Amino acid sequence: MRFVYDGTKWLPQPLVDVWEGEAVPISQIPTIPAYEKNPHFSVSSELLSFLDGKHLLLDELPFPLELIQEHYEHGYIFYQKGIVRTDQGYRCERCGNERTHLFASFACARCERLCTYCRQCITMGRVSECTPLVVSFVRSERTFYKQPLVWHGTLSSGQQQAAEAVVRAIENNEELLVWAVCGAGKTEVLFPGINWALQLGKRICLATPRTDVVLELAPRLKQAFPSVPAIALYGGSEDRGKQAPLVIATTHQLLRFYRAFDVVVIDEVDAFPYSVEPMLSYATEKARCETSALIYLTATPHPHWQQEIKQKKRTAVTIPARYHGYPLPVPSFEWCGNWRKKVKRGTLPKNVTAWVEKRLVDGKQAFLFVPHIELLQHVVSILKKLDGRIEGVHAEDDERKEKVGAFRQGAIPLLVTTTILERGVTVPNIDVAVLGAEDDLFTEGALVQIAGRVGRSAQYPSGDVRFFHYGKTKAMLAAKRQIVRMNNEAKERGLLQKR
């Protein structure tokens, strides 16, 4: 869309019947004037509520352009430039992209000139030089809830200590990292904090990298806070355009928000894609209010975050023990020679085969992690000779859900998998092995997550974690160290079951 200047103000061209003068894309308006809020203007509460805490494309706003323009002229909303020029090139104001290779230009039919757009956030609709981002200056009324938490569970003492730290961070608008081992029960740790925030009338967003986690968390939170409107946002979600004091969203959806939340919780901060996409940390900063709390949840913080915690540059609280109070299973390392060569020849190293056979004989289910899809297929066909029920699963597997389901029901004795199952999948009473733990793909975090699959239920709190390798790596050692350190800390703090 282009704007025209009629001598007093900027108007969207479609609102002007005949125009002989120049029409420019928003990026070429030197400064977009902001107007004093007119208290006598009769506002559209639908529009303002739709825009509450967001910045959106005109295409995303189901309102007539006239109405939007009126609200702009009366000081209720504002047009921001979607793309701005920088010294090095461009910046996308929605996603923060400044990398030249993620911009492209085309002959745009909207502004009738060569128009540069951002390719990084294109899946959420195109932001180009002629795209205004519409923001509102008005926030909706806060709602204060009296004791909204309805939950009858109890927190372990490790969870309790972390929960108190979360409450304090929310109260004081601080940043906090909650480092909770796999199986510590980190969602419940948030309950007292969210409860307190809702009593103070705060707006809360829980963001996580993956849609399936949003779908799993949303009903749990709705159940815990039944009187509070909560919405779940992800690509294709039906809650789009709705407002609620409690928002559960994928980290991508944060891009549409603008100074919206008093509390932002980022779950699995280390998981793909948050850690690889600076876009999402930009989105988090943008979605927070200027004074707000930011809580990170993770079982496996990045090495440089661990360093910052050690140097006391980053406030963190740890939950070193699992909810059930048993220590984490510690991985053992076993050298298995040049296993890739063996796999190519159609066999597996003897100790690996022996490990698998033992599980089959004992009837104990297991995951076997391998680094790559191509290897996975070879390994599966080798293992199928031992037991035809053995299956493999990887990221692009259409039957992924079915296979994991069959494993849960016990129909598959051993599941060979790539790192996609390193998180989230919890099956009681299993053992875990990694073939080729020395591969670059198995970072410290990935290995800790893999080990974290074992001993999750109170009924079966232990199990075997074996890293088969062709040369130990720093990541392997660091993973083991991290697990041992957590167990020691848990013991020192008296968080383990007395037996």
Partner 1 sequence: MNGYCLLCHRRYVSRMSWSDLLTVKQEDVLCDVCRRSFSLIEGDICDRCGRSFSLLDETYRQGECCADCLRWQQDDEWSGMLTKNRSVYVYDDFMKEVVSRWKFRGDYALVEAFRIDVRREFFRHFSSESLLIPIPLSRERLYERGFNQAKALADLLFLPVFDVLERHDSEKQSKKSRYERLRTAPFRLHAGGQLQGKSVVIIDDIYTTGSTVYHAARLLKEAGACDVCSFTLIRA
Closest CA to 363 of 416, 408, 429, 422: 429
Helix (H) or strand (E) holding 466: strand 465-469
Residues in the chain, total: 499
**Span near partner 1 by CB under 8 A; candidates 108-116, 135-143, 424-432, 456-464:** 108-116
CB of 27 to partner 1, least distance (A): 15
3-class DSSP state of 335: strand
Query: Measured on CA atoms in the order 421, 426, 427, 432, is the torsion positive or negative?
Result: positive
Residues 57/60/65/68 CA torsion (nearest 10 deg): -70
Q: Kindly tell me which of 104 and 200 has the beta carbon lying closer to partner 1.
A: 104
Tell me, residue by residue from 28 to 67, as one string, x for binding to partner 1 by CB under 8 A and - for no binding: -------------------------------x--------
Q: Got the DSSP string for 168-187? A: HHHHHT-EEEEEE-TTS-HH
Least separation in angstroms between CB 462 and partner 1: 40
Q: Do 10 and 32 form a contact (C-beta atoms < 8 A)?
A: yes
Report how far apart the first and last C-alpha atoms of the chain are (Å, whole number).
Answer: 71
In the complex with partner 1, which residue's Cβ is closer, 110 or 314? 110
Q: How far is the CB of 117 from partner 1 (least distance, A)?
A: 7
CA angle, corner 155, sides to 366 and 444, nearest 5? 40
CB 89 → partner 1: shortest distance, Å? 15
Minimum gap (Å) between residue 109 Cβ and partner 1: 5
* Contact predicate 127/117, CB 8 Å: yes
CA dihedral for 45, 51, 56, 61, sign (positive or negative): negative
Please report whether residue 104 would count as binding partner 1 according to CB under 8 A: yes
The stretch among 107-115, 199-207, 230-238, 432-440 that binds partner 1 (CB under 8 A) is 107-115
Cα separation values, 17 from 1, 11, 115, 212, Å: 15, 11, 24, 48
Complex with partner 1: residue 123 or 227, whichever CB lies closer = 123
Candidate segments 117-125, 197-205, 233-241, 419-427, binder of partner 1 by CB under 8 A? 117-125
* Residue 478 contacts partner 1 per CB under 8 A: no
| Shortest spacing between CB 376 and partner 1, in angstroms | 16
Pairing of strands 24-25, 10-12: unpaired
78, 79, 117, 225: residue in contact with partner 1 (rule CB under 8 A)? 117
- Rounded least distance, CB 58 to partner 1, Å: 11
In angstroms, give the least distance from the CB of 225 to partner 1.
35
Our finding on whether 272 is near partner 1 (CB under 8 A) is: no
| Residue 174 tokens, joined | 């601080």
Smallest gap from Cβ 203 to partner 1, in A, equals 29
Burial class (CB in 10 A: 0-12, 13-18, 19+), 376: buried
Cβ atoms of 130 and 111 within 8 Å: the answer is yes
Q: Which stretch binds partner 1 (CB under 8 A): 38-46, 120-128, 435-443, 462-470?
A: 120-128
Of 159, 189, 183, residue with least CA distance to 461: 183
For partner 1, the binding residue among 8, 21, 39, 101 (CB under 8 A) is 101
Q: What are 214's two structure tokens? A: 């949003």
Task: Give residues 203-242 in contact with partner 1 (rule: CB under 8 A).
Answer: none
Cβ pair 394, 420 in contact under 8 A: yes
Size of the site for partner 1 (CB under 8 A): 17
Which of 6/374 has CB closer to partner 1? 374
Residue 109 in the binding site for partner 1 (CB under 8 A): yes
- Of the ranges 105-113, 160-168, 228-236, 355-363, which one interacts with partner 1 (CB under 8 A)? 105-113
Segment near partner 1 (CB under 8 A); pick from 23-31, 122-130, 156-164, 478-486: 122-130
Nearer to partner 1, 108 or 475 (CB): 108
Closer Cβ to partner 1, 106 or 144, answer by number: 106
> Taking CB under 8 A as the rule, does residue 16 contact partner 1?
no
- Sequence-distant (6+) residues with CB within 8 A of 98 are 86, 88, 89, 90, 91, 92
125 binds partner 1 (CB under 8 A): yes
Binding site for partner 1 (CB under 8 A): 59, 101-102, 104, 106-110, 115, 117, 119, 122-123, 125-126, 128
